[in-house]
Amino acid sequence: MAHTRYQEPETGETDQAAPGPSLVVFGQDLTEWRMPAIFAAVSLVVGLLGILIAGQVEPTTHAATPTTAPALSAPPSTAPDSLAVTPTTTPAGDAPGTTVEALAPANVELSTDTVDFGAEAIAAEFDMTNTGGEAADWTAVSSSEAIAFSASTGSLPPGETVTLRASLDRTLIAEGELSETITIQWGDSRAEVAVTGSYDDNPIIHNPSASPAELKVSGGSCSPTQSTVSARIRDTSDIESVVVRWSPDGATSQETPMISVGNDMFEGVIGPFTAAQSATVRVVAFDEWGNAGGASITMPVTACP
């Protein structure tokens, strides 16, 4: 192979910049293949690095895992913030095959069916319990204005119990046996309590008197030996009978009927007496209920001179 010697240019121009030195290898200027060589070297390095990295990284085995579809989020609400979302209940019969169990209606049970005021009591109590499934709006009423209640109306929730107090005004009832009724009403239903008792009012005897006021012992010629006893008798019930009791001899007792003469006045005759004495004369009245009232007077019985 012939080698080419470097020679100075034959031109003598010096006013132009001289080109830089060129590397001549085997008769060729290296500036012609410098850039392709650089690119080739870079590609070689990148390839080697790839081989090294591939040899160091272990292959990854991916286990099959079940996937869960993401939950769909509800679309944003367009309702105002101040409105609360409340659950709705489907009315019975709206949804096919849906059965809605109805609540049991209100039902009031009483702790007793009889209240006895006896002869003197003026108050009595009993309980009311709602055994139903709905509230009971109740009302208490009485067959007599003489009976009043601690509360005449109210609302009783399911399963609750309330005590009702009944009061009796004895001045507003007739004498004798009490027979009234307390009724508890709620809706179209009701329950009743029988009210019993008695009111005893003894007859009152006003101003008993005897005329004449003094008597003589019988058997002589002296008089008078008999006297008419009278009295005004009143009661809240009818008077059944009236008698006057006296003693002829001061030891034994005798009873004489008295009859009505009008205006609540009764009269009866006593005598004759067989012994001188300070006689006690007692008027006794009985009403239709067997109640008795009495009043007494004292009158002198003297011997005939």
Instruction: List the domains of the chain with CATH numbers.
Output: 108-199 (2.60.40.10), 204-302 (2.60.40.1930)
What pLDDT shows up at residue 103?
Answer: 87
pLDDT at res. 6: 46
Give the tens place of pLDDT for each residue, 198-212: 988 899 999 999 999
**Is 108 in contact with 135 (CB distance < 8 Å)?**
no
| 166 beta partners | 124, 149
Of 9-13, 216-220, 235-239, 292-296, give the range with the top mean pLDDT. Answer: 292-296
* pLDDT of res. 259: 98
pLDDT at 154 over 70: yes
Residue 32 is classified by DSSP as G
**For the chain, percent of residues with pLDDT exceeding 70:** 67
Per-residue confidence at 236, pLDDT binned at 50, 70, 90? confident
Greater model confidence, 22 or 284: 284
What count of other Cβ atoms lies within 10 Å of the Cβ of residue 85?
Answer: 7
Query: Which burial class, exposed, middle or buried, applies to 156 when counting CB atoms under 10 A from its CB (0-12, 13-18, 19+)?
Result: buried
pLDDT score of 63 more than 50? no
More confident: 144 or 60: 144
- On the question of pLDDT at 279 being above 80, the answer is yes
For the cut 50, the answer to whether the pLDDT of residue 278 exceeds it is: yes
Distances (CA, A) of 98 to 90, 103, 207: 9, 16, 86
pTM above 0.75, yes or no: no
What is the residue-averaged pLDDT of the chain? Answer: 80
Calpha distance 3→47 (Å, rounded):
37
More confident residue, 243 or 38: 243
Residue 39 has a pLDDT of 63
Burial of residue 32 (number of CB atoms within 10 Å: 0-12, 13-18, 19+): exposed
**Strand, coil or helix: what is 38?**
helix
- Determine contact, residues 105/119, Cβ cutoff 8 Å: no
What is the sign of the dihedral through the CA atoms of 211, 215, 219 and 221? negative
pLDDT value at position 219? Answer: 85
| pLDDT bucket at 100, cuts 50 / 70 / 90 | low
How far is Cα 202 from Cα 205, in angstroms, rounded to an integer? 10
Mean pLDDT score, 113-133: 96
Weakest-pLDDT range from 6-20, 133-147, 246-260: 6-20
pLDDT band at 24, cuts 50/70/90?
very low
